[in-house]
Structure 1
Amino acid sequence: MPEGHTIHRLAGEHRKAFVGTVVHAESPQGRFAAGALQIDGRVLTEADAHGKHLLLGFDDERWLHVHLGIYGKYAFGSVPAPPPIGMVRLRLRNTQKYADLRGPNTCELLDPSEKKTLHARLGPDPLRADADPEVAWRRISRSRTSIGVLLMDQTVVAGVGNIYRAEALFRQGVDPSRPGRELTHERWTAIWADLVFLMAEGVRVGHIDTVRPEHTPEAMGRPPRVDGHGGEVYVYRRSNLPCFLCGTEVRTEVLSGRNLFWCPTCQGT
């Protein structure tokens, strides 16, 4: 499932391509035909993201809410748009660009009150200017649940996925099994600051890089990572391989249905 930086990049692409223009909408697949009809011919006024949720605002105060889920994908191109290929849930286009949405978990229209409710149920997003890490801290500091689970709970922190969870905890030397209430406020502040930095870099470069300059392949004289996710990481998908910093074998286990990766030596405190 795409992590938050991907959704913020999608908001930026929509902003660049469509905001301030009349947008035509259709649902070639047919599953969003009624919704597409309601926004067809409207001006797209805003493009926003909160966690893993994309929100596109129109001049009638309605919002298109998209959650890609596991299988959702966007494709952008220049007009004239080719005939739709595959199961295109929604096509948006103006005189210059088009965007095709396939396979989302959610594609729906919200009124302003429904959008407000959506924001209210999500935790602070490290990529949003209005994010308050203290809101997350109040939940974390009272919880017996492990920080590894809490970081993946979108009602606690929005936008963090499996990669950012594993890598931020490694970088801060935090055992993912530590209960939230045993975390110090200072350590939480450091984790949050790291998430802000790493996810902003993800938006900037388009993939997830988490290793510090002194641990890059060039600096360490090691082969670069070869993985479909791209980017250099410390522990994610490196189970049974030696930790770059201490040589201990990276471990993995299933935690709340997702694979967790960590170094028992570097994250033993």
Structure 2
Amino acid sequence: MGFRKARNSKVDNLRNYMTIVVGSVIMAVAVNLIFEPLGLVTGGLAGLAIVVKELTKFIWEGGLPVWIFTVITNIPLFLVSIKLLGIKAMFSVSLGTITYVLALAVIPIYDFQFNDMLLAAVVGGAITGVGLGMVFSVSASTGGTDLLATLIQRFNRHMSVPTILTIVDGTIIILGALVFGIGNALYAIIAVFITAKVSDGLLEGLKFAKMAYIISDEYDKIAQEIMTSLDRGVTGLSSTGMYSNKERKMLFCVVSKKEIVKITEIAKKIDPNSFVIVNDVREVMGEGFIEYKQ
């Protein structure tokens, strides 16, 4: 039993590391193929690096490469973070950051010459959102302003990390507006919005489920069928119909999105007069869903 748990733990860790690597590479693709060529500063160290590259073109041919600036700025952040948070806590962040920087250095910068800046902002934001969602889904990050906000919060407890991150990234976007113009900045804001929506959707999609309440006189048969055919647990809640003043069990169960149709079919098949209430569930942790890990 212990061997099986150890093996499962190694498989889970490997899967998480692969998710971090793939997500970091996807984020770098958006920077090198869309944001940098078009001068879209979407916040983060990559956005600041794009600004610095533009400002250093007169002293460095083509400007200081984004990946070099990202390395330079991340080094002090990592040294401080290791001291405050410990090496173990920084492993996943280190993997994400190293992969991200290497991808920025290796992936060629290519201008697809988007004639529609809005389309470029949407595509870039969506690509970044997928990569960011993958990295966040395993509680990791690619360093940068995320790490900076975490460090600042340790010395400024009355401000949350998201608030600090918004201020830092907002400042970087303003710098981008000063260098590339207000038009580019507005498109960059659209890209940031799309990134947030896609990454949030990806994270919620991984944890999203459906909750069903079933009221029926045939509650026992319905519960048995759900447990048998779907292998899902069902809870019977004591309830009283206020019109009939009749006591009965109200069934409560949580299932995946694709299983909720089967739940309603079972209820209606056994009792056509059954009353089924379906709600969205944002996050479910436990057996059959996402396992809680300390």
TM, length-normalised to structure 2: 0.25
The structure whose residues are more often strand, as a share, is 1
- Larger C-alpha radius of gyration, 1 or 2? 2
Structure ranking higher on relative contact order (CA contacts 8 Å, 6+ apart): 2
The structure whose residues are more often helix, as a share, is 2
